[in-house]
Amino acid sequence: MKTAQRIQSIPPYLFAEIDKKKEEAIKRGVDIINLGIGDPDQPTPNNIIEKLNESVKSPNTHNYPPYEGTAEFKQAVAHWYKERFSVNLDPHHEVMALIGSKEGIAHIFLAFIDPGDFSLIPDPGYPVYKTGTLFSNGFPYIMPLLEENDFLPNLDEIDEEIAQRAKLMFINYPNNPTAAIADKSFYEKVVKFAKKYDILICHDFAYSEMVFDDYKANSFLEVEGAKDVGIEFHSLSKTYNMTGWRIGFAVGNKEAISALSIIKTNTDSGIFKAIQQAGVEALTGPQNNIEKMNQIYTKRRDVIINGLNKLGWNLKPNKATFYVWIPTLKNMSSIEFTNLLLEKTGIIVTPGIGYGEYGEGYIRIALTVDEKRLEEALNRIKNSGVLQE
């Protein structure tokens, strides 16, 4: 039996490796503090759970759902976009339900990349942008996200010949893993670039609502001309604590949505209607849990930023996402530092190299444990000798 080349070209999924190390440490009896995975620790709001309970009992939800999402779900998305960003969307042609945004992100490459085509992807970045390109036999072209550029790609540095051959570009703000944000002027530059080189822009907007200190994220689609060139991927996962429910959506350029739909109609058969009804409740029901969560994350962020700064780091508080992107100590590689932390303190973090070569020299921590546990993590770092290594 011989697997396809594309399987061999994919590095092991980063979080699977971390999980393995965690299991080994647990077996050794270590009290693990897991700051490695970006999965909200708070439950899905009750109104959404109640809606699922009710919907699941109705036989009308038990058959195959429409491929592209129910009319009600797409309508709810269009309504939410209008309310939140003042962006008009045609629910029939410019909205599509996804089995979590990861599913759509992975599939968009199949819709746009032919063998030998280039994708322009951020590094560090969500790993699926690279693997999605490789699965389509394309070439990922790296756009470095550097601290000195506020973790925005420098579009002027993209090789002219590559830009001519590129089919799509991914951007992601608020950003995983750097927690950076982007403003409309950046999106305007991106639209100009996309028009010049005739490429599709894919904006991964999974963290749109996870924002702090009065910051509000702009949608890429708010910028003039954006819908001519781009789509936005969105998720209910982080916004409504629904990671396990697997529901998200893509919105924007109708040709791109239609191309994605051709891939999807041939690979999956939509999302359980009861989950879509719960999704409608999430998008159209009370929104106060978002603010409540953001207050929780703000407090946790402050604990970590203040605590690490007392230990010698020099970090600015991030305005969005439940991640903190931290330089390693004493020029240690991200893997060395991650392993040292696990060994000496029982803390799991994610090594920056897992997000690409420009993630080297950093680790990412996720603010997905409570303040007490974060204080405990800081104490362990202080008392473990890690700082003296």
Q: What residues make contact with ligand PLP under the rule CB under 6 A? A: 38, 100-102, 126, 172, 176, 204, 206, 235, 237, 243, 248
367 contacts: CB under 8 Å, gap ≥ 6? 35, 297, 300, 301, 304, 322, 323, 324, 374
- Nearest-Å Rg of the Cα atoms of the chain is 21
Measured CA to CA in angstroms, residue 373 lies from 31, 229, 350 at distances of 11, 44, 17
Helix, strand or coil, per DSSP, at residue 96? strand
Cα separation of 202 and 216, whole Å? 20
Cα separation of 181 and 207, whole Å? 10
Q: Concatenate the DSSP letters of all residues of 193-225 into one string.
A: HHHHHT-EEEEE-TTTT-B-TT--PPPGGGSTT
Taking the least distance from each CB to ligand PLP, the nearer of 163 and 260 is: 260
Measured from the CB of residue 242, what is the shortest distance to ligand PLP in angstroms?
A: 8
Taking the least distance from each CB to ligand PLP, the nearer of 91 and 104 is: 104
Measured from the CB of residue 243, what is the shortest distance to ligand PLP in angstroms?
A: 5
Taking the least distance from each CB to ligand PLP, the nearer of 118 and 126 is: 126
Measured from the CB of residue 376, what is the shortest distance to ligand PLP in angstroms?
A: 25
Measured CA to CA in angstroms, residue 291 lies from 69, 132, 167, 222 at distances of 28, 33, 38, 22
Measured from the CB of residue 207, what is the shortest distance to ligand PLP in angstroms?
A: 7
Cα separation of 377 and 303, whole Å? 11
Nearest to 357 by CA among 103, 105, 11, 104: 11
Measured from the CB of residue 119, what is the shortest distance to ligand PLP in angstroms?
A: 15
Measured from the CB of residue 353, what is the shortest distance to ligand PLP in angstroms?
A: 17
Taking the least distance from each CB to ligand PLP, the nearer of 241 and 345 is: 241
Taking the least distance from each CB to ligand PLP, the nearer of 85 and 322 is: 322
Taking the least distance from each CB to ligand PLP, the nearer of 101 and 294 is: 101
Residue 288: enclosing H or E segment and its boundaries? helix 288-310
Measured from the CB of residue 37, what is the shortest distance to ligand PLP in angstroms?
A: 8
Taking the least distance from each CB to ligand PLP, the nearer of 75 and 176 is: 176
323 contacts: CB under 8 Å, gap ≥ 6? 38, 176, 177, 178, 179, 364, 365, 366, 367
* Backbone dihedral angles phi then psi of residue 70, each to the nearest 5 degrees: -70, 155
